[in-house]
Chain A
Amino acid sequence: MTQTSVDEHKSAWEAQLLAFEDSQYLGTVRRLLRGARRNRLVISGTILGLIVLAAAVLGPAILGSDYESQQLRNIHQPPFSIADLPDQTQHFYLFGTDHLGRDVAQRLFVGIRVSLLVALGVTAMSMILGILLGLVGGFTGGWRDRTIRGVTDFVWGFPLILVAVLFAGGLGEGLFPVVLAVGLVNLAAIARVVRGEVLVLKEREFIEAARAGGFSSGRIMFRHVLPNILAPTFVLASYYVAVAIIAEAALSFIGLGAQPPLPSLGVMVAEGRNYLQVNHWESTIPGITVVLMVLSVSLIGDGLRDVFDPRLRHEAKGMES
């Protein structure tokens, strides 16, 4: 047999394998999305998320993103108020002003951006690294697996807030220790779950078949194992995005996260807490925003889990009858 025909056989073999995987396993992202489109939880979570996202993206373009300017004549304005600026023009305050006369709406938009950047950015990075570590550890085994598992087991058990406070103790307060803590803890959690999934998948027949086809370990890992573990990882990731949003806001609230004048949602709630009786909106608007963001991500996560976990789906079916 010539080399070309061996290659042809191999690619035909692989195409068959891929088709089989697609028909058999819920683990692929495509299947997850197919189910998610009809899931009520996912839809409502997505709508909620899009509203917040639109505020972060479009808000600054429409109303501006000047989070620092103080108008000391216009302090504690309620939402939907119009007030004079020093240059005799009028300014419309969608969400009112705070104790320094800063525009709450403009601060809120920037605050959402900070929150999203920390939560989504860090979770994305820790997902890539976590998947890689879990995949390599679980698939290759041996000393690599033992090392990775030792480290992830160690990190995983700690509450995020405590880890962030530790880093803040060493690095000084700011967003960086928060990012580091969220990234590290989420990475460990994702690597653990991925490893577990890989160990199960490794024993399945189609991986055996791929081995029999003579493909390299690397190719089997990335073309046959990886696509089938992505879905459970995404389900998990939505939960960790929620955890990250809450952690960033909470740490900023107690003064260890984002530092003023940068308007993190937690900072805004903290600054408004002394004026609840005067103008509670300064605190309640960023507070509600955090809740909506977390709610959006957890609804999507819950919905995806229903789609993904066949046992839960079974229960859902029973509920209809």
Chain B
Amino acid sequence: MRRIVSRTGYMILILVLSSIAVFYAIRLSGGDATAAALPASTTAEQREAFRERLGLTAPIYVQYFEYAGRILSGDLGNSLTNNADIGDMLIRHGKNSLILGAAAFVLVFAIGIPLGIWASVRRNRAADQGIMTFSVVGMAIPNFWLALLAIWLFASTFHLLPSAGCCELRHLILPAVVLAFEGIALTVRMTRSAMLENLGQDWVRTTRAAGLGEIRVIGKHAFRNALIPIISLAGLRIGQIVGYALVVETIFGWPGLGQVLVNAVLRRDYPVAQFFSLVLVALVVIGNWLADLGYVAANPRLRRA
């Protein structure tokens, strides 16, 4: 219990620190803020007045506290490029990202775990070697290229699925699979080695000797134990999915948080870039915190410490 409280306190500290880091990182460029919003013909005085109005002339730490205050009071500001309300953007794009991220998250475990078990049961046979080769190659293929291959094959050549767009199920399939791919490859490996470790234990031999069927030995006993490290580290997959979503959403034109952030960075729309960086960083921090808690929950010895 004490550990959970201390990990949570640590998580909040990290959240605050990273919000400061993000604020400074996005502000490194400083002067560029006016370039996106104002036409090229604007005079220097007008630009200065614009900065003044946005509060960009105050010292940066003052700006940070003002910004934090505004965010906490729910005033998120507007985009510099199309004046859209950032709060509305968060809701609209956040929903899309949530759908895509959740689909990928489910795929990682729904495909990764069964494949890993199958590989461990058929150890060193053709099925195992095939699955493990897939896993090695799956981790070596960068997802932007996988995305491209998928579009080429399923959209351009066979016309089975749309290459980009939102937000029906047929639009979701390709980006979700691509986003999940590396996670699947990783989960297969983790499941296989955890299963092998358990299948080699004495108590598995004992349950076999006790006359339990093979399905029960694998399904009920070895599997349950093997699942602990995989589920407990599931939080880490959230961070991975957030990182890759930046690339995958951009390629498939899936209007989620990642696509918004990348576009904002490219267009120097700094209020949007700043806020959506904060959102994604917060997601990663929370994912890591969940993994931390899961790790504690899975290791009873740590619970007392």
Contacts and interface: CB of A to CB of B under 8 A. Distances in A.
Interface string A235-267: 000000010001001100111100000000010
A254 B148 contact: no
Interface stretch (A123-131, A138-146, A276-284): A276-284
A74 B24 CA distance: 47
A315 interface: yes
Interface in A38-66: none
A92 interface: no
A266 B144 CA distance: 9
Query: How many residues of A sit at the interface, in one of the four size bands?
Result: 35 or more
B22 to A, nearest CB: 6
A162 B281 contact: yes
A249 B144 contact: yes
Contact of B29 (A170, A287, A290): A170
Nearest to B265: A169
A162 B243 contact: yes
B140 A171 contact: no
Query: How many residues of B sit at the interface, in one of the four size bands?
Result: 35 or more
22 contacts: A159-B284, A161-B244, A161-B247, A162-B242, A162-B243, A162-B277, A165-B261, A166-B25, A166-B26, A166-B281, A167-B25, A169-B270, A172-B29, A242-B140, A246-B142, A254-B144, A269-B144, A287-B148, A291-B140, A291-B142, A294-B140, A298-B140
Say whether chain A's binding surface is mostly helix, strand, loop, or mixed: helix
Given A266-B144, A269-B144, A298-B139, A158 B284 contact: yes
**A-B pairs with the 7 shortest C-beta distances?**
A159-B243, A170-B28, A295-B140, A294-B140, A287-B145, A161-B243, A169-B265
Contact of B27 (A170, A290, A298): A170
Nearest to B272: A169
A48 B4 CA distance: 47
A276 B156 contact: yes
A254 B142 CA distance: 13
Nearest to B269: A169
Nearest to A311: B197
B266 interface: yes
Interface string B268-298: 0010011001001100110010000000000
B145 A290 contact: yes
Interface of A: 154, 157-162, 165-173, 242, 246, 249-250, 253-256, 266, 269, 273, 276-277, 280, 283, 287, 290-291, 294-295, 298-299, 302, 315, 319
B239 A319 contact: no
Given A170-B27, A246-B142, A294-B142, 8 more contacts: A157-B239, A160-B243, A169-B264, A171-B28, A254-B246, A255-B266, A273-B151, A287-B145
Interface string B126-168: 0000000000110111111100110110001000000000000
B193 to A, nearest CB: 8
Contact of B136 (A172, A283, A302): A302
Contacts of B196: 315
Nearest to A320: B124
B156 A250 contact: no
Contacts of B137: 291, 295
A196 to B, nearest CB: 15
Contact of A162 (B26, B123, B141, B284): B284
Contact of B247 (A253, A283, A290): A253
A51 to B, nearest CB: 15
B18 interface: yes
Contacts of A283: 148
A256 B148 contact: no
B124 A165 contact: no
A170 B22 CA distance: 9
A321 to B, nearest CB: 11
Interface string B235-271: 0000110111011001100000000011011100010
B265 A168 contact: yes
A154 B18 contact: yes
Contacts of B302: none
A159 B240 contact: yes
Nearest to A166: B25
B265 A154 contact: no
A250 B26 contact: no
Contacts of A165: 246, 261-262, 265, 277
B32 interface: yes
A169 B239 CA distance: 19
